[in-house]
């Protein structure tokens, strides 16, 4: 029997890199087989989903999941990184900042909602000729990235308040909620709202509240993290991501040995194949009444777990 596996949802603290979190969890879990499903910037906090053991195989499917964020955009200045960690490029005249009305703000945000072509921040992790864009920028190179098609399903202002720059410059802080497809840069939304309003804009805070079916309610604080108790079992995680294929004992055995099986189930490109005892047998494709294995999961030791169960996560995913 192999070591325990599962999905772990961590509440990443500020000033930690995603790699730092992976390193801490590797030590706590006693295994190097730990990965994460989507980087968070050091300044960002919130939901970071990790896979341990065989559940690292699920991370590929989670990377493409939609995400939600709470953020604060400061209107009045642009920065070199589109967030508060970069150098300020200049402040807009106070009269221009004060001319931002709720109606103009809403119109600018509406223009950035839906399917849009977004130019990522130049300090993103996107590779340009084999090197990360941020590494090229830090080396003094000028980097221009091509627009990418992304989907922003929600971009709404929750609150607006007056603020000031370090020298007393006029500014507005806008608290926002964003729901978007994978690959969307909230920093770029902040930049582009500022461009639309002729004030400049950058991000001052960012918290990720959801990745696919996993929310901040599932996230465990890093300082007192108990991996064994927080781990979400493979079957619960896979059932949240895919349609469920309930197997008989014989089907579970055959599918686990790589055999094609006959099933009474709707077609699915990927389904979570679950044994009668609740174990994840593997991921399978279902077509025309037959199922075949995409990837098998070993019979594994399970940590007790206090995370959400299969039915709760499946409900969120729907």
Report the alpha-carbon distance of residue 290 to residue 266 in Å, rounded: 10
Backbone angles phi, psi at 121, to 5 degrees: -60, 145
Structure tokens at 112: 């950035």
Distance of CA 45 to the CA centre of its chain: 11
Candidates 11, 15, 20, 41; catalytic one:
41
Report the alpha-carbon distance of residue 301 to residue 170 in Å, rounded: 58
Q: Is 254 a catalytic residue?
A: no
Task: Say if CB 186 and CB 206 are below 8 A apart.
Answer: yes
Distance of CA 315 to the CA centre of its chain: 19
Backbone angles phi, psi at 208, to 5 degrees: -85, 125
Taken as a whole, the chain contains a residue count of 318
**Burial letters 57-89, b for 16+ CB under 10 A, else e:** bbbebbbebebbbbbbbbbbbbbebbbbbbebe
Listed residue (310, 315, 312, 298) closest to 233, CA to CA: 310
Structure tokens at 73: 């955009």
Write out the catalytic residue numbers.
41
């Amino acid at each position: 029997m192999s070591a325990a596996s599962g999905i772990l949802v961590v509440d990443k603290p500020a000033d930690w890199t995603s790699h730092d979190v992976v390193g801490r969890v590797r030590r706590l879990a006693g295994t190097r087989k730990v990965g994460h499903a989507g980087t968070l910037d050091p300044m960002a906090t919130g939901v970071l989903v990790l896979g341990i053991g065989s559940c690292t195989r699920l991370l590929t499917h989670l990377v493409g999941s939609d995400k939600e964020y709470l953020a604060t955009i400061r209107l009045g200045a642009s920065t070199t990184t589109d967030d508060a960690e970069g150098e300020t490029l200049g402040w807009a005249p106070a009269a221009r900042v004060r001319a931002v009305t709720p109606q103009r703000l809403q119109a600018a945000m509406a223009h950035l909602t839906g399917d849009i072509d977004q130019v990522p921040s130049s300090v993103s992790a996107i590779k340009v000729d084999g090197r990360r864009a941020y590494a090229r920028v830090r080396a003094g190179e000028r980097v221009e990235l091509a627009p990418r098609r992304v989907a922003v399903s929600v971009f709404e202002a929750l609150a607006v308040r007056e603020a000031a720059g370090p020298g007393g410059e006029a500014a507005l802080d806008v608290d926002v909620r964003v729901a978007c497809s994978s690959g969307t840069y909230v920093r770029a939304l902040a930049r582009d709202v500022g461009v639309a309003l002729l004030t400049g804009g950058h991000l001052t805070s960012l918290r990720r509240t959801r990745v696919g079916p996993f929310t901040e309610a599932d996230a465990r604080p890093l300082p007192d993290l108990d991996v064994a108790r927080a781990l979400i079992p493979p079957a619960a995680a896979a059932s949240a991501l895919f349609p469920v294929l309930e197997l008989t004992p014989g089907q579970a055995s055959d599918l686990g040995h790589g055999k094609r099986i006959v099933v009474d189930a709707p077609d699915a490109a990927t389904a979570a194949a679950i044994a009668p005892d609740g174990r994840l047998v593997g991921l399978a494709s279902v077509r025309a009444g037959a199922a075949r294995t995409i990837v098998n999961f070993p019979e594994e030791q399970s940590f007790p777990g206090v995370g959400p169960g299969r039915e709760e996560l499946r409900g969120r995913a729907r």
